[in-house]
Chains A and B, each alone.
Chain A
Amino acid sequence: MLSHIRRTLSLVRGCSGVCRIQTSTNPARSSSSFSDLTTASDSGGLVLRSQSTDVYLNLALEDWIDANLDLQQRSVLLLWGNQPAVVIGRHQNPWTECNLPAMRKAGIPLARRRSGGGTVYHDLGNLNLTFFTSKKAYDRQRNLKVVTDALRRIRPELDVKATERFDILLNGHLKISGSASRLSRKSSYHHCTLLHSADRSTLSASLRPSCPGILSNATPSVPSPVANLVDHAPALQWEELLDALEHQYNTEFGFSAASTLVNPADEAAFPGLSRMEAELRSWDWTFSKTPKFSIQTVLDLTDARSARSSAQLNMEIKSGLIESCQLDVPTDWLPQRLIGELSGVLVGERFCGHRAAAAVTALLRSESGELQDRLTNLCDAVVRAMG
């Protein structure tokens, strides 16, 4: 019995006696599972901080908690932050929402979350809060009240207010927080961002379209001017903010939960989480889930030698793959045969500049001289149009 308690205690560093651990009379019962631990403790609230800064692990942790913890009797607050990443909503189009080439250059990954809503930029200056409850107890305004009350308590001079759209605005017009939610079988989660000290120039560079001319019925983001809390309260420390939020969560909901550190990379504590993380990380989930869209754009084919010339590109992209490709090029500039071959090579490929560039290599090698130059020019323009 004692060794059982020792094992579970080591999992719960930082958890005070408030999380009373039920002793088991059966010494054979292994209890390294996180859900075992939480079912044993007081019903009421649980406050967790993720030790991971990997966006996919943290998103998977949310899904794991939603699927594995009994949220009918207990609510959970999870605090987490990520290394730089862009997170799009469930039904969004990453090519319209963010600058994929710039992100690739900067090593900023893209993640698609399971909740709805718009696109956000995460880095270690942005705090994420996830409020897990039963569906009955789902109340976003009350959750946001936890945030605004906490801020008012530690910085009463800050003018912060939650809006009808579930944003939090500073001084009436600067967005410091946005929300999104997911409702599943019996439970719900509402998560929101909170800009403490994020890198605003990388934020605005990332949250721009990858390429022009996209026609899509994916859910759009509502762009807003943003601000960091430290811009208006320079002495506000990260830890101070987290402590205030946890304290306010307990106050608002009448809990007395101490903060517990959790590591989503610990498969023993979170069995099955790595499978969820792998799915979130996959190309299929991130890109293939993009609602069908089309691109209609004009390609500039002007080169040093020839007069101004252009082509019309029409592409349909379904499940992240080029379903059809139509190029209207002046027929005296390139023979129709080559245009047809180029389209043929692109259809079926992932909608991705790299893939397109690789796919056209063989076609380019088969030509020479001026034709090859013009074809290269056209291919470059097509690849550029794909972001």
Chain B
Amino acid sequence: MAACRLLRSLSSNFITVLPSLSRSAPLCRLRPVSTPCFGRTLTSSSRLTAALKFTDKHEWIRVEEDGHGTVGISNFAQEALGDVVYCGLPEVGTQLAQQDEFGALESVKAASELYSPLTGEVVEVNELLADKPGLVNKSCYKDGWLMKMTIAKPEELDALMDETAYERYIRSIED
């Protein structure tokens, strides 16, 4: 909890330092210099965001070297959720079709359903989140990943948004 307060106060410092970032502008800009997921270096941010694809439900999926997809929620989503207090994640082995509900993130705001970005099988779940659900807020693209899954239909990836398209999408829904 103290870490979250720290994060918020640091974010507000961020905003005074970079006046172009107003409260109404999308905070998820994904260009490393403006990422509010505090504590990551510029180069690691570039590498991480390079291969992300996004859904309209504000989830991302990154294809790893082993062909599995790592799934998480975007910075826009974690900001909207507020402090996550519990991550309800699926069992390893669960079969998911694209857009199936696979769990929920609970925050003070609500229990928010999670929707599978692709069709596949859950192969790993982020065990760290059991004791540290706040990682989803603090490090949504790195340590706060939710689950890893097989990619049964790679063509589904093509229909997802890349970083640029996702940024456009966020701007459009904020209007």
Contact = CB atoms under 8 A, between A and B. Distances in A.
Interface of A: 89-91, 114-117, 138, 180-185, 188, 190, 217-219, 289, 291-292, 319
Interface of B: 57, 85-86, 88, 91, 104, 106-107, 109-113, 115, 130-131
A292 B131 CA distance: 11
A89 B106 CA distance: 10
Contacts of A219: 85-86, 106
Given A219-B106, A319-B91, 15 more contacts: A89-B106, A90-B88, A90-B106, A90-B111, A91-B104, A91-B106, A91-B111, A115-B111, A117-B111, A181-B111, A183-B113, A185-B113, A185-B115, A291-B88, A291-B130
Contact of B109 (A181, A184, A218, A319): A181
Q: Is the interface of B mostly helix, strand, loop or mixed?
A: strand
A115 B108 CA distance: 11
A184 B109 CA distance: 13
Nearest to B99: A185
Contacts of A181: 109-111
Contacts of B88: 90-91, 289, 291
Contact of A217 (B111, B112, B113, B130): B130
Contacts of B107: 116
Nearest to A218: B86
B130 to A, nearest CB: 6
A319 B93 CA distance: 14
A185 B57 contact: yes
A102 B33 CA distance: 57
A138 B109 CA distance: 10
A217 B115 CA distance: 23
B110 A115 contact: yes
B91 to A, nearest CB: 7
Contacts of A217: 86, 130-131
21 contacts: A90-B106, A90-B111, A91-B86, A91-B88, A114-B111, A117-B111, A180-B110, A180-B111, A181-B109, A182-B110, A185-B57, A185-B115, A190-B110, A217-B130, A219-B85, A219-B86, A219-B106, A289-B88, A291-B86, A291-B130, A292-B130
B17 to A, nearest CB: 30
Contact of B110 (A91, A116, A185, A289): A116
A190 B85 CA distance: 18
A116 B115 CA distance: 17
Nearest to A115: B111
Interface centre among B104, B109, B110 (most CB of A within 10 A): B110
Interface centre among B106, B115, B131 (most CB of A within 10 A): B106
The 7 A-B residue pairs with the shortest CB-CB distance, nearest first, are A181-B110, A116-B111, A116-B106, A183-B112, A91-B86, A183-B110, A90-B111
A384 to B, nearest CB: 28
Contact of A182 (B85, B86, B111, B131): B111
Nearest to B81: A183
Contacts of B111: 89-91, 114-117, 180-183
Given A219-B85, A219-B86, A182 B130 contact: no
A190 B112 CA distance: 12
A90 B85 contact: no
Nearest to A219: B86
Contact of B113 (A117, A180, A184, A292): A184
Nearest to B107: A116
Contacts of B85: 219
Contacts of A138: 110
A116 to B, nearest CB: 4
B55 to A, nearest CB: 11
Contact of A188 (B57, B110, B115): B110
Nearest to B91: A319
Nearest to B101: A184
A115 B131 CA distance: 21
